[in-house]
Amino acid sequence: MLRPTALLNAYAQGIFPMAHGAGQIYWYDPDPRAIVPLDKFHVPRRLCQKINRQPYEIRYSTAFRTVMRRCAAPAPGRDTTWIDDIILNSYTALYQLGYAHSVEAWLDGELVGGLYGVALRGLFAGESMFSNATDASKICLVYLVERLRERGFTLLDTQYQTDHLAQFGVIEIPREVYKQRLSEALLVEAHFLD
């Protein structure tokens, strides 16, 4: 297991881990870095309409480990992920200390979508998401952004740009610009949960 202090120190420097089979952990500091500009977050019109119908019950950090397990599960076109038992146990320890959180979509008492990440002062580092129902993870992302705005967070790190995230206005910035924004975010006192 990765020590919580080591993980938090890494995030404070803009570095994050990923597992690569057989218990090997690699550390990453990508250039460019993908972020969600919280003030320019874009919700597609069709998704807005769906959110207004409130198809899912949204919960925060009630099933963290289950969200991680679902993010790690095989999916179409993907037999394995970078989330192994070392990562699972390490982030569960961060969750127990109040630094890792999940946003969850529930339907009729069943968890159908979610995401998780690390909250460190004004930074939220999104790690992974899953969806077993239409738009569930996208709706969780919308609720995440709303919560981060309400609670004074200033930086939402998505690490890498993907087609899935591009529709929300995710941008890539140079590593040195990211590090400056990270430094500023670490000066902010923000809390994901009360």
β-bridge mates for residue 34, sequence order: 159, 172
DSSP string, 60-73: ESSSHHHHHHHHHS
Q: Which CATH number fits domain 4-185: 3.40.50.150, 3.40.50.10490, 3.40.630.70, 3.90.228.20?
A: 3.40.630.70
Walk along the chain (194 residues) and give the pLDDT tens digit of each residue. 899 999 999 999 999 999 987 779 999 999 999 999 999 999 999 999 999 999 999 999 999 999 999 999 977 666 667 899 999 999 999 999 999 999 999 999 999 999 999 999 999 999 999 999 999 999 999 999 999 999 999 999 999 998 888 889 999 999 999 999 999 999 999 999 98
Q: Rg of the Cα trace of the chain?
A: 16
Share of the chain above pLDDT 70, in %: 97
Q: What region does 67 belong to: left with phi over 0, alpha with psi -120 to 50, or beta?
A: alpha
* Domain ranges (residues) in the chain: 4-185
d(CA 131, CA 127): 14
**16, 22, 122, 161 from 186: Cα distances, Å:** 16, 34, 6, 23
Contact 137, 103 (CB under 8 A): no
H helix intervals, the chain: 4-12, 45-52, 64-72, 85-96, 136-150, 163-166, 175-185
Contact 84, 23 (CB under 8 A): yes
β-bridge mates for residue 60, sequence order: 103
Q: pTM (2 decimals)?
A: 0.95
Contact 86, 149 (CB under 8 A): no
d(CA 1, CA 88): 9
